Structure 1
Amino acid sequence: MTLVEKRTNQGEKNQTNQPDWSALIPVLPGDGPRSRELYAALRRLIETGALAAGAKLPTTRDLARRFGLSRSAAVACFEMLISEGFAVARVGAGTFVALDVPFLPTTLAKPRPPEIDIAAALPCGLGVAVSDPRTLDLFRILLSRHLARPGPEHFRYGDPRGGLALREAIAAYLRTARGVRCDAGQIVLTSGTQQGLDLLVRAALRPGDAVWLENPCYTMAHAALAGGGASIAAVPVDAEGLDPLVGERLCPHARAAYVTPSHQYPSGVTMTMRRRLALLDWARRNDAWIIEDDYDSEFRYAGPPLTSLQGMDGANRVAYLGTFSKVLFPGLRIGYAVVPEPLLDAVMAVRARADRYPSTLAEGALTDLLTEGHFAAHLRRVRRRVQAARDALIAGLRANCGDALDATVPEQGLHLVATLKSGGVDTEIVEAAKAVGVGARSLSGMYIAGPPKHGLVLGFSGFSDEELWAATVRLGRVMR
């Protein structure tokens, strides 16, 4: 009898993985569930094409042995891959990469934007609130009170305008402190002034509508208007604020005007009464909107502020924006918009599409802060501290930068503008100041038309007298 050598057709059999396939996963992370870590590693190899479609996966026994896992962990890994469609099991043959799986490139087509720098604010930087220990302790107590017995508003979707109790408290505060004529139904809670402005732009304007914008201006307002497709007319600001007569010459058919009349950003001037009346008259005659950003109105050091534009408006053309970010702390993320009745439905529709309704977590504590008199006491304390910080910065600038900068003492707000005495480029000074730990901003960068003025915008809120003095010493050295 002749023995016939048995041959197998190797080409018809499924190819097994290369012996060194495990080099693709040299080390599994030590933390977390091991089956989940192995699953993530194998899925990554499949999505990037390192394990080709149709390739046979090792057995669960082999996986367990190679990586020091329990077999149950390897089995759980395979079950996840199969259930999500990344692998298929064939009875008697093994487990294979699915033929139809998503392919992800190993590198992104475009680089990701850089992470936002959230390092500690540099002295003289803007947007820093005063940390008041008494208010923080009180707010913690009030917050704990409400969390101890959470109400039903935390467990259901609410009004797009926000909680009624807080809106009523804000309306009462604005009527007393700013002369705003409103009720709770007109108030829409926001995560800050910027969101309020965005809601108004999307509700009141169409792409191509012309809008007056102060020049120089708050750059984030410019971004919101430009992002909404508005055609922006830069209206100059002088010692009396924005001039409506110039605005009408530049752009007579504007649909809206964005202004900061109480404390113009960045110049710091207050719009005079005659300019306010002229602006309101323009809005009435042209059926236009005025967006009043009541910037820093709480921080006035020389007498009471002028009443709000909204409080003087008899034609229902002014939308009013405010925030608790500067007076309490930005991390609270609660602002508000007082919306004219003709715009209210449109604003609420935009709000409901964007995020349904605002967070309710801190509403109760903030409501108590307003209604129980704590907010007024807080304002008195921080206003005194900020005024002292302003005086410390002025003293430091005069002593250490007097030959290079001319700083005017502001009667309101949390920053000042220092102009360059002997010319120069403010952006270069700002970069040099940042290198030595001073958070100045350039005035010229806030102009959107025409030849800009050069100067430094310097904040004093939230910094100690010692920090501000040291900053002016370093700034003086930079400018020599």
Structure 2
Amino acid sequence: MITRTTNTPLLEIDLNRHEAQPLQRQLFGQIRDLVLKGRLQPGERLPSTRYLAKELKCSRNTVLGAFDQLLAEGYLEGMTGSGTYISKELPDDMGSFPKDVHKKEINKEQQKGPGFSKRGRELAEMEKRVHRNAPTFAPGMTDVTAFPFPLWARSLARTWRYPKQDILRNPDPCGYIPLRKSIADHLRTSRGLDCSWRQVMITSGAQQAVDLMARLLLDAGDVAWFEEPGYPGLRGPLHSAGVKMVPVPVDLEGLSVSEGRRMAEKARMAVVSPSHQYPLGAVMSLRRRLELLDWAEENNAWILEDDYESEFRFSGKPLTSLQGLEAERHRGSKQPSRVVYLGSFSKVLFHVLRLGYLVVPEDLIEAVSSARTLMDERSSLLAQPALADFMAEGHFSSHIRRMRRIYGVRQQILVECICRFLSKYLRVTPDDAGLHIIAYLTDYAKARVTDRRIVELADAVGISASPLSLFYSDPKQAQQGLLMGFGACDREQIEEGCMKLAKVFDRATKQ
């Protein structure tokens, strides 16, 4: 226990060295808990790190690490020459509890009454990346300042000033028909899909699309292949549908079908991003694509094709989709399609648009339409007519072409800056597509620090990179690296961000 000293609050800290949780994380959690519960008030001064380390009988680095995280999350603030204080303006999640405290509260509620379901507890406790407002190196963010909002506003005004009756009365549950036609036209020309507009279903983003198809095509307890590492945002919908996910490793050719067969030959679905795998950026080879289609046919299984960031390919033409490849193989036969294709406008236009789409096999159109009516009725129609107008006038294609050039230059700048400022700590190669690159920790850096620790420290200086290890379901297999987004960063931000990150590495590797 720590007793009150002059001008310091009373801290009741008890570090348990027999727990699996690191001491630094224990200290961070207990101080944060005292703040959340009001035991420590805004403006109160904390003891010095040397004093705390001495009283707790731990290293000063442990205390510094906990303080760094508390500073990064806004619970503490430092005043030069004066010490460290509880922040006067606490974070927005003041009323929430940290991860370990939240688990305890859930368990208490279960003892009192019905509480969460088992699935609900697992969803609430699934590890996820905390999203910061800082755009520097945040993966998946687009440059909204470059979006032609005057043209978008004109489309919105044109479609809603005197809306057509078909928008207001009994709209199709699968989405606004002119938009579905525009999407089908775009996919046929740019992605090689073989589809009619009737196969296109508008959704509220990729996660809703995955949730809908998992519930329609799979039963609770069914097994699905999931890329390892893979996009965490798709794990939640699959898990909530009761699907058991088998993490199948990804290499330079994409998802390993042979490993998938070995791990779960009779799986009912494979969730893949063959055109630009997230997060590693691998492109699935033609050999692997054919192997995957063979496996699906042999096992009467489904393939959910997530066409992630394929629009932003910097060299060569966008690759033909799995759906298009399968259609070419089956042309002239009555072989049913096993591929469901999904896409999103969030990464192409702007994130808050929250519009995506599915392309389902023809024999699923009626079933998906009926299920959509029962489960969700329809996605919001507010933006759909405007987007249809935006695409019909050619503004969508023009924007894609323009941003493809801009993002290609920004990726090149980021690679050059990493080589100039961070070569001691990171190794990186350019990617052919997407809005982020993977910067792997060098052997020197890996021997001294983890990617998650770097991300924690980087948050404090306004850098929102993501740790690569977060995307692995098995921590033992996780590689160490950073996902560094460049979509929302100009040259100045990229250079400044790399210099700041170099200082973060300098400090972290010398502790």
Under TM normalisation by the shorter chain, which class is it?
A: 0.7 to 0.9
Question: How big is each residue's C-alpha offset from its partner over 1:248-274, in whole Å with a ceiling of 9 and x where there is no partner?
Answer: 111010000000000000001100010
Structure 1 unaligned blocks of 5 or more: 1-107
CA contact (8 A) 2:174 2:369 kept: yes
| Residue identity matched to 1:139 | W
Task: Measure the CA separation in 1 of the matches of 2:130 and 2:325.
Answer: 41
1:97 corresponds to: none
Question: What secondary structure is seen at the aligned counterpart in 2 of 1:418?
Answer: strand
Question: How big is each residue's C-alpha offset from its partner over 1:367-413, in whole Å with a ceiling of 9 and x where there is no partner?
Answer: 12212222111111111111121112112211111110001111111
CA contact (8 A) 1:259 1:290 kept: yes
Task: Measure the CA separation in 2 of the matches of 1:342 and 1:252.
Answer: 25
Out of 274, 287, 305, the residue aligned to residue 274 of structure 1 is 287
Task: Measure the CA separation in 1 of the matches of 2:298 and 2:195.
Answer: 23
Question: What secondary structure is seen at the aligned counterpart in 2 of 1:237?
Answer: strand
| Residue identity matched to 2:320 | T
Question: What secondary structure is seen at the aligned counterpart in 1 of 2:242?
Answer: coil
Q: CA deviation at 1:310?
A: 0.5
Question: How big is each residue's C-alpha offset from its partner over 1:144-192, in whole Å with a ceiling of 9 and x where there is no partner?
Answer: 1112211113422321100111101100110000011111111110111
Out of 296, 311, 323, the residue aligned to residue 298 of structure 1 is 311
1:476 corresponds to: 502
Q: CA deviation at 1:344?
A: 3.0
Question: What secondary structure is seen at the aligned counterpart in 2 of 1:389?
Answer: helix
CA contact (8 A) 2:430 2:437 kept: yes
2:361 corresponds to: 340
Q: Does 1:325 align with 2:325?
A: no
Task: Measure the CA separation in 1 of the matches of 2:279 and 2:323.
Answer: 21
Q: Does 1:289 align with 2:310?
A: no
Out of 459, 463, 468, the residue aligned to residue 434 of structure 1 is 459
2:12 corresponds to: none
Task: Measure the CA separation in 2 of the matches of 1:133 and 1:429.
Answer: 30
Which one has a larger percent helix, Structure 1 or Structure 2?
Answer: 2
| Residue identity matched to 1:471 | G
Out of 451, 458, 462, the residue aligned to residue 477 of structure 2 is 451
Between 351-360 and 139-148, report the one with greater CA deviation: 351-360
| Residue identity matched to 1:218 | Y
| Residue identity matched to 1:462 | A
1:67 corresponds to: none
Q: Does 1:230 align with 2:243?
A: yes
2:397 corresponds to: 376
Question: What secondary structure is seen at the aligned counterpart in 2 of 1:479?
Answer: helix
1:47 corresponds to: none
| Residue identity matched to 1:262 | S
Coordinate RMSD, CA, aligned: 2.1
Task: Measure the CA separation in 1 of the matches of 2:435 and 2:222.
Answer: 33
Higher-Rg structure is 1
Task: Measure the CA separation in 2 of the matches of 1:156 and 1:258.
Answer: 36
Out of 298, 309, 322, the residue aligned to residue 322 of structure 2 is 309
Task: Measure the CA separation in 1 of the matches of 2:453 and 2:296.
Answer: 40
Q: CA deviation at 1:132?
A: 5.0
TM-score (norm 2): 0.70
Question: How big is each residue's C-alpha offset from its partner over 1:273-331, in whole Å with a ceiling of 9 and x where there is no partner?
Answer: 10001101111111100000000000101111220000011340000000111111112
Structure 2 unaligned blocks of 5 or more: 1-111, 116-123, 331-335, 507-511
Q: Does 1:219 align with 2:219?
A: no
Question: How big is each residue's C-alpha offset from its partner over 1:63-115, in whole Å with a ceiling of 9 and x where there is no partner?
Answer: xxxxxxxxxxxxxxxxxxxxxxxxxxxxxxxxxxxxxxxxxxxxx999xx9xx
Task: Measure the CA separation in 2 of the matches of 1:456 and 1:437.
Answer: 15
CA contact (8 A) 1:132 1:382 kept: no
Q: Does 1:252 align with 2:252?
A: no
Question: What secondary structure is seen at the aligned counterpart in 1 of 2:412?
Answer: helix
CA contact (8 A) 2:407 2:486 kept: yes
2:385 corresponds to: 364
